[in-house]
Structure 1
Amino acid sequence: MSDTSQNTFGPPPAVTGHLPPYVAPFRSPRGLATALTALFSLTVGVDLLAAAFDANVWRLMDEMLGGGSVEDADLTRADALQAVAGVLQVAVLVATSVVFVIWFYRVRRNADFFALDSCEMKSGWAIGAWFVPIANLWLPRKVAGEVWDASTDWDSEARRPSPTLMNVWWALFVATWLVGRVATSAYEDAAGVEEMKRAAGMMMLSDTLDAVAALFALLFVRKLTRMQLDKATARQEQILPQPQP
């Protein structure tokens, strides 16, 4: 069996007298998936760290509401830790988003190799769908669903994975976006100790949810990458001549 992790290869030669439509060769998404595995793992760690810092703020606010004594230095330290976590989250988010979009475009292009014209959303939407306001809450999922179907080996009962993983990933992505916006707004508008405590609790929920979403995104990337590699291997075996006994 040939290893498709580093190879690229094109569609089978035409069997008719006219030229077939151009199909870009398969390009392995393995390297990008490996990078995303590291980045999403880092995201989980940074999010959990941020959630711990949020919990620290919540604890300090709770002590103040209970009549306890909280030093100004503790409040300053807690605020600084949250700021550091925020910078780390933004840096990791930017890096992860760039690599993810490149991977997403790669697997979308590979979908045409598996089944030309099977995707209603053209390959450019693998990038553009993320930047359409409001519609970016469902357009990328539509692209992902079409790529998932094109990458499924329908000839093998054992290779028909349920789309549940993809659906959970997307539901968590949308939930994280919504909860994050509400939590950020509450934190920015907090004017008293009670409101600050409530906002810190919401931020803790948002960061924890983001960590879970990153974990499922990692699983989704690895699963779809494996599906494409397996199907590409099967396609290559059909294209290449088999050795004679």
Structure 2
Amino acid sequence: MTNPCDDEPVHPSYPEPPTYPVSRPSSPPLARTAAPTTALGPGGYGGGPAVWPGSRLLALGAVTIAMLLVDLGVAVWSMHLLLGQRDLLDRAETGSLTTSMITDAVAAANRADHVALVAHLATAAVFISWLYVAHRAAASQNPGVITHGSGWAIGGWFVPFLNLVRPYQMTTDAYNGAVVGLGAQPRHRKARRPVQVWWGLLLLAQIGDRLAATGDPTTLDSARAQNAVVMGAEVVWVLAAVAAIVVVARVSSASDERRAQLIAQRAAAVAAGHSLPLHP
């Protein structure tokens, strides 16, 4: 006996829903992006205007040169006072020296010492700041000639005995990084003559200051000898300041020119669709 329900479908059938064509817009081909209006910074990172270490080096170099000129002017003033002291020693020998002359000379010497101390400290602070920025610029623009980390541009001045060579090495790095051709290998590192002249004069001036500080004249002849030593030290300080101005001006201008060249190269590489190197 068959069940009449066996011939019926277990589930009712429903008509298939109609299908409609779906129109999808075709994706446009990827267009080559134009070169950015601002060049990328070191390492190829973007996210805003490019800030290369060399972008502020030229302005800081101008401030450093101005401070060196001030320091040079103070040294010339000190030399003028030393000539006056020499005249007083001659007057003391002839017996025409008065108490007011001695008082005025001592007061002028004290003022000159205070002004010279402030000028030296301010100039040193600005120069060390410039050297740090210059070394960073050299490390980013021409890393093949760098021998030490940029932090030594500051710390190298304050480590005993090491401060006899490390500031010279850091200045040489900054100088080579600015003037040596791109891609220079470490074996091509050479200390340039302006840096050598500046560092030699700076050490010689410091030796002269040490010799003058240890002197304790008790006679007219010994006073003349100390006056000559101090005068010689001031002359060397003037020459060292002139040499430092040459180094700062050369490094700052050359680094700024290299920065402009590298920015143009990067912009051209982005415009051409080339990948950028990790180091500029």
2:42 is the alignment partner of 1:11: yes
Unaligned runs of 5+ in 1: 1-6, 15-23, 156-160
Pair 1:136–1:12, CA change in 2 (3 A) = closer
Answer yes or no: is the 8 Å Cα contact 2:156–2:167 preserved in 1: yes
Return the offset for 1:141. 0.7
**Which position in structure 1 is the counterpart of 2:265?**
238
**Which position in structure 1 is the counterpart of 2:10?**
none
Structure 1: 4+ residue segments shifted above 6 A: none
Per-residue CA shift, 1:1-36, capped at 9, x if unaligned? Answer: xxxxxx98513649xxxxxxxxx8434211211111
Q: Distance in 2 between matches of 1:235 and 1:8?
A: 9
- SS for the counterpart of 1:120 is coil
Return the offset for 1:106. 0.4
**TM-score (ref. length: structure 2):** 0.73
**Which position in structure 1 is the counterpart of 2:102?**
75
**Richer in helix (by share):** 1
Q: Distance in 2 between matches of 1:55 and 1:184?
A: 18
Identity %: 22
Q: Distance in 2 between matches of 1:149 and 1:62?
A: 50
**Which position in structure 2 is the counterpart of 1:173?**
202
Which residue of 71, 79, 84 corresponds with 1:51? 79
Q: Distance in 2 between matches of 1:199 and 1:12?
A: 55
Q: Give the number of aligned pairs.
A: 222
Answer yes or no: is the 8 Å Cα contact 1:55–1:201 preserved in 2: no
Pair 1:199–1:139, CA change in 2 (3 A) = same
Q: Distance in 1 between matches of 2:77 and 2:39?
A: 40
**Which position in structure 1 is the counterpart of 2:213?**
184
Return the offset for 1:108. 0.9
Answer yes or no: is the 8 Å Cα contact 1:51–1:205 preserved in 2: no
- SS for the counterpart of 2:107 is helix
| Aligned-residue RMSD, C-alpha | 2.5
Return the offset for 1:163. 1.8
**TM-score (ref. length: structure 1):** 0.82
Return the offset for 1:162. 8.6
2:161 is the alignment partner of 1:130: no
**Which position in structure 2 is the counterpart of 1:20?**
none
Return the offset for 1:199. 1.1
- SS for the counterpart of 1:130 is coil
Answer yes or no: is the 8 Å Cα contact 2:197–2:243 preserved in 1: yes
Q: Distance in 2 between matches of 1:8 and 1:127?
A: 29
Unaligned runs of 5+ in 2: 1-37, 46-50, 183-189, 273-280
Show the 5 A alignment for 1:1-245: 9-11=40-42, 13=44, 25-28=52-55, 29-65=57-93, 67-116=94-143, 118-154=145-181, 163-186=192-215, 189-241=216-268
Q: Distance in 2 between matches of 1:87 and 1:114?
A: 41
Answer yes or no: is the 8 Å Cα contact 1:10–1:26 preserved in 2: no
Q: Distance in 2 between matches of 1:101 and 1:183?
A: 26
Per-residue CA shift, 1:101-159, capped at 9, x if unaligned? Answer: 1111101111221133642211110001111122212111111112222222416xxxx
Per-residue CA shift, 1:199-239, capped at 9, x if unaligned? Answer: 11211111122112111111111111111111111111110
Pair 1:78–1:9, CA change in 2 (3 A) = farther
- SS for the counterpart of 1:89 is helix
Answer yes or no: is the 8 Å Cα contact 1:8–1:27 preserved in 2: no
Q: Distance in 1 between matches of 2:173 and 2:230?
A: 34
Pair 1:9–1:151, CA change in 2 (3 A) = farther
Answer yes or no: is the 8 Å Cα contact 1:61–1:194 preserved in 2: no
Answer yes or no: is the 8 Å Cα contact 1:180–1:206 preserved in 2: yes
- Bigger Cα Rg: 2
